[in-house]
Structure 1
Amino acid sequence: MDCQVVVFTSGYRLHPERGLGPLALWPVGGSTAIGRLLGLLAREGIRQVSVYSDRLHPLCLDGIRMPQGLDVRVITDPDISGTAGMLRLAVDRHAEGPIVIMPVNMVDPPAVTTLLELHKAGGADLTLFADPSSRNDLPEIYVCNSQLLCHIPTGGYWDIKERLVPELAVLGRPVRQVSLPRSPGCFYDGHSYLNAICLHLEDIAGHDPSIRLARSDQQSRIWAADDVDVEDQARIYGPVAIFEQARIGRAVVVGPTIVGPGARIDDDAIVVGSVIWPGAQVSAGSSIDHCLVATGVSAGRKMVADRQVITNSTRPARVAPAGSIRMPRPMPQQRMASGILMAAICGAAILWSFWPQWQDLWAIWQRSDEYSAGMLVPGLAAYVLWCRRSQLKDIAIQPSAWGMVLLILSQVIRFYGLYHMRSFVERSSVVLGIMGVVLWLAGKGLFGRVLTVLLFLFLMLPLPQGLHSRIALPLQGWSTASAVFGLELLGYDVVREGNVIQIGQTSVAVAEACNGLRMITAFVIISGMLALLVNRNWWEKLIMLVSSLPIALVCNTTRLIVTAIAFTLITGPGWEKAFHDLGGYAMMPLAVAILLAELWVMRLLTTAPTKGQASDIIVRPIKKDGA
């Protein structure tokens, strides 16, 4: 294949856990990350690969079995040169053809042929590849034309994204960013390594020649080497990959899990969603949940660990009592049944216990225009939970006693509000009671995932009467003043008398119901629901929520201006009332359109291109001399 391939181990985010060695040597299936990458390159027909490392991330390939027919050149840089600067040492400056640059910290590297095809189709001098599973993550995979080497200085630090791309912008050379067809599974520490392995386990196992598919059914796929030792009483729920000379006693193994070569899982142990490195041991009675057990490490007897990187220096989170053992997480059907039961108990308990408060809220929603949108909040919250059902079904239900504490606190707050006649405090206890029941029955894991939805329920409550009185009149005055200002900008001769606008012979009164509070409450609710549904960064959601207030005020002012102008053109109380109501309804789609436009702008500024699409980063015409 006519191209040069450079793989590197340096990077600004490569900070592995102490004692685990370079990321390039971390096990991926039956090999290491760099061994798997070199093997894939050899099978694609690549004949020469340059492996670059710097003084911060030295790499020794002694003991790594090199694929036949692949010439591997190891380059150790005494300095730190960056992703572009390393090409000074790794690539022949006089060579022709494209240059492929990729990191070694990947569990599922993309095919070089795919990278070259996407680069050629884009027609750019430099192509940056994005991870389709992460909107803001560039996994440092690049393809560039060899002509760009002349733009890299002969010394100093020179990074592709920080230095080379701006240099090409000045020169007018085209640069494109393209989304990879699938995630390469990049990892930078123990937790991202576990996530990448779990996501790509079936691809890793399916392409590893040292293991074969031993069992496959609707609920379980298990790959195993020929010389593994698995007890008949062991319970294994795939996907699970078991490599050579591994031993599994009368244990429970729940995938996605990899049991490395020579690893041991002793009797009565439980391993869930973990990676057991070669030569590691999970002792009898231990419970390992989403953990990385390093090579040569023995997870102590009856050790309980959750989401940890276990090395020789790791202290167990706790030790299980004698004779106790944690059962594996329930299967999907059981989780669904328990979730439905939990929801039914929660709904019945809250509805019965807080029935007087529900009646009070219903009466307010029916008679108050400002807070009538509150009746939509419970239904919208249920819809958000339904949209998140695929994310919630895999969370274990582990009841927490803290939920009972929160439930008791809600009752104390309820009686405090009732005794002191503070209606808002009394109504707030309804939401606190819901939160307490969810925490009590479902546990901290599920409670943490739905906490934002539970907080969203506070939007169904009307404001405290004191706060309502303080903002109602100022809002009414501001609405009148802004409407007068808008009408004057349009050339109308307007006279304001209090909250009455005089346009010629027509008088338009801005009533308290037109102060904009109704639109603010309704639009804040819609903005909150969109913030829960869209997959954006937290600061983007915060901007969306904060901007909902000025957008609602602008839309209310627009409605008042249009209504005042319409009243000068139409007559009759029936027509005036109909247009007044229609104008209020029409502003809500306008406000939503403004919000969606805001999200679209933020997406253009912050989000990588979608899968399979390419976007121009820099495309400028090259100026010819004398032009």
Structure 2
Amino acid sequence: MEAKAKDVDVLVRPGQAWWVGFGLPAAVAVLAALVYAYWPTLVWIEETWRNEPDYSHGYLVLPLALLLCWNRLDQITGIRQGISWAGLSLIALAVVMRLAGRLVYADFLDAWSMLPLIAGVVWVCFGFSVLRWALPAIAFLFLMFPLPYQAESLLSWKLQGVATDLSTIMLRVFGQPAVSEGHVIWINDLRLQVEEACSGLRIFIGVAALAFFWAAMVRRSWLDRVVLLAMAVPLAVMVNSVRITVVGLLYQVFDDSVSQGRIHDISGYLMIPFAFGLLWLVKVYWERLYRPLEQMTARDFVQGIGGA
């Protein structure tokens, strides 16, 4: 009996003729078709970036995703010569998601369907090895999409409560007679309202995006990356609570509405770079605390002895 030939991927380098003659033109054509098909959804996403401060970081997601791909170019093992039909499964999933989004009027589901569609196109045109290389950048694109309204409201409500309680504790540490009541902090006769806009959702999303980007960029173990991602949540909550605490303390000194308005706005602008700076310090500290060990194989050891 003759053994059946196995379906083995034929990998080529990006500079070879097949890539230039088929792979690259196919990718450009599919990209143009994707933009045309999703144009109304893309317009809705851009309007959200422009009008919603919580998603103003969306303009940076695509350039950072391309930078992430560029940083990982050396990790491409090869491009599959021919079509990988298995990638059609992801394209079919994207079609189902988009149809479901249109049926239930869920714009977010329509937007999310772009992710499996992009992944499926990469798989079909270039093979699974390229999909594995591009997967972190494709996953990073999720952060440019607005959250569903119900999820956004629930997350904002939870963040409001945590920020109120933590800020009340901080104010008491500084000797202020602070008492929390719902999402309101009373300091003597001063009523400090922690509104939905001050919930910290904007800084939470921004820090999460930056943490994911750094975790994908660094050449570290998965544990190191998980630690960096996990730090995004407590760090965002802490920075927002520090802002509310500082506002409460300064409101005791400046009691006119003009000064209080400036304090509120300036503190809001400063908390984003402050959070990014803290996240960078965490990253640097963790990298210095747990440095990767240099591994030496038996061949390297023998060659080292011979060279000596």
One of 382, 392, 416 as aligned partner of 2:100? 416
Match of 1:396 in 2: 79
- Shift of the 346–379 alpha-carbon distance from structure 1 to 2, 3 Å rule, reads farther
In the alignment, the residues of structure 1 paired with residue 7 and residue 193 of structure 2 have an alpha-carbon distance, to the nearest angstrom, of 73
Match of 2:132 in 1: 448
Match of 1:589 in 2: 273
SS, match of residue 535 in structure 1: coil
In the alignment, the residues of structure 1 paired with residue 200 and residue 123 of structure 2 have an alpha-carbon distance, to the nearest angstrom, of 37
In the alignment, the residues of structure 2 paired with residue 327 and residue 535 of structure 1 have an alpha-carbon distance, to the nearest angstrom, of 28
One of 131, 138, 141 as aligned partner of 1:457? 141
How far apart are residue 433 of structure 1 and its match? Answer: 1.6
Query: Could you tell me which amino acid in structure 2 is paired with residue 318 of structure 1?
Result: K
Match of 1:332 in 2: 15
Match of 1:561 in 2: 245
Higher strand share: 1
Where do 1:242-253 residues align within 5 Å? none
Where do 1:109-258 residues align within 5 Å? none
Deviations 1:530-587 (A, max 9, x none): 0111111011101111121111101111111112222222354444333323222322
Query: Could you tell me which amino acid in structure 2 is paired with residue 356 of structure 1?
Result: P
In the alignment, the residues of structure 2 paired with residue 543 and residue 347 of structure 1 have an alpha-carbon distance, to the nearest angstrom, of 35
Query: Could you tell me which amino acid in structure 1 is paired with residue 115 of structure 2?
Result: V
- Shift of the 413–319 alpha-carbon distance from structure 1 to 2, 3 Å rule, reads closer
Q: Which runs of 5 or more structure 1 residues have no equivalent in the other structure?
A: 1-300, 302-314, 321-325, 611-627
Larger RCO of the pair (alpha carbons < 8 Å, separation 6+): 2
Instruction: Verify the 8 A CA contact 2:13 2:78 in the aligned structure 1.
Output: no
Higher helix share: 2
Query: Could you tell me which amino acid in structure 1 is paired with residue 12 of structure 2?
Result: R
Match of 2:197 in 1: 513
In the alignment, the residues of structure 2 paired with residue 511 and residue 402 of structure 1 have an alpha-carbon distance, to the nearest angstrom, of 48
Where do 1:68-107 residues align within 5 Å? none
SS, match of residue 466 in structure 1: helix
In the alignment, the residues of structure 2 paired with residue 560 and residue 317 of structure 1 have an alpha-carbon distance, to the nearest angstrom, of 67
Report sequence identity in percent.
28
In the alignment, the residues of structure 1 paired with residue 27 and residue 214 of structure 2 have an alpha-carbon distance, to the nearest angstrom, of 23
In the alignment, the residues of structure 2 paired with residue 439 and residue 575 of structure 1 have an alpha-carbon distance, to the nearest angstrom, of 56
- The answer as to 2:41 corresponding to 1:353 is no
How far apart are residue 518 of structure 1 and its match? Answer: 1.3
- The answer as to 2:6 corresponding to 1:318 is yes
Deviations 1:493-549 (A, max 9, x none): 224343232334533221111111111111101111101111110111011111211
SS, match of residue 449 in structure 1: helix
Q: Which runs of 5 or more structure 2 residues have no equivalent in the other structure?
A: 295-308
- Shift of the 334–586 alpha-carbon distance from structure 1 to 2, 3 Å rule, reads farther
Instruction: Verify the 8 A CA contact 2:14 2:79 in the aligned structure 1.
Output: no
Instruction: Verify the 8 A CA contact 2:200 2:240 in the aligned structure 1.
Output: yes
Query: Could you tell me which amino acid in structure 1 is paired with residue 134 of structure 2?
Result: V
One of 197, 206, 213 as aligned partner of 1:529? 213
In the alignment, the residues of structure 2 paired with residue 597 and residue 385 of structure 1 have an alpha-carbon distance, to the nearest angstrom, of 25
How far apart are residue 367 of structure 1 and its match? Answer: 2.2
Query: Could you tell me which amino acid in structure 1 is paired with residue 162 of structure 2?
Result: W
Q: How many pairs are equivalent?
A: 291
Match of 2:69 in 1: 385
**Cα RMSD after superposing both structures:** 2.8
How far apart are residue 417 of structure 1 and its match? Answer: 1.4
Normalising by structure 1, report the TM-score. 0.43
How far apart are residue 328 of structure 1 and its match? Answer: 7.7
Q: Rg larger in 1 or in 2?
A: 1
Deviations 1:265-294 (A, max 9, x none): xxxxxxxxxxxxxxxxxxxxxxxxxxxxxx
How far apart are residue 599 of structure 1 and its match? Answer: 2.6
Match of 1:501 in 2: 185
Query: Could you tell me which amino acid in structure 2 is paired with residue 329 of structure 1?
Result: V
SS, match of residue 541 in structure 1: helix
In the alignment, the residues of structure 2 paired with residue 335 and residue 573 of structure 1 have an alpha-carbon distance, to the nearest angstrom, of 67
SS, match of residue 462 in structure 1: coil
Query: Could you tell me which amino acid in structure 2 is paired with residue 395 of structure 1?
Result: G
One of 206, 229, 232 as aligned partner of 1:545? 229
One of 55, 59, 75 as aligned partner of 1:375? 59
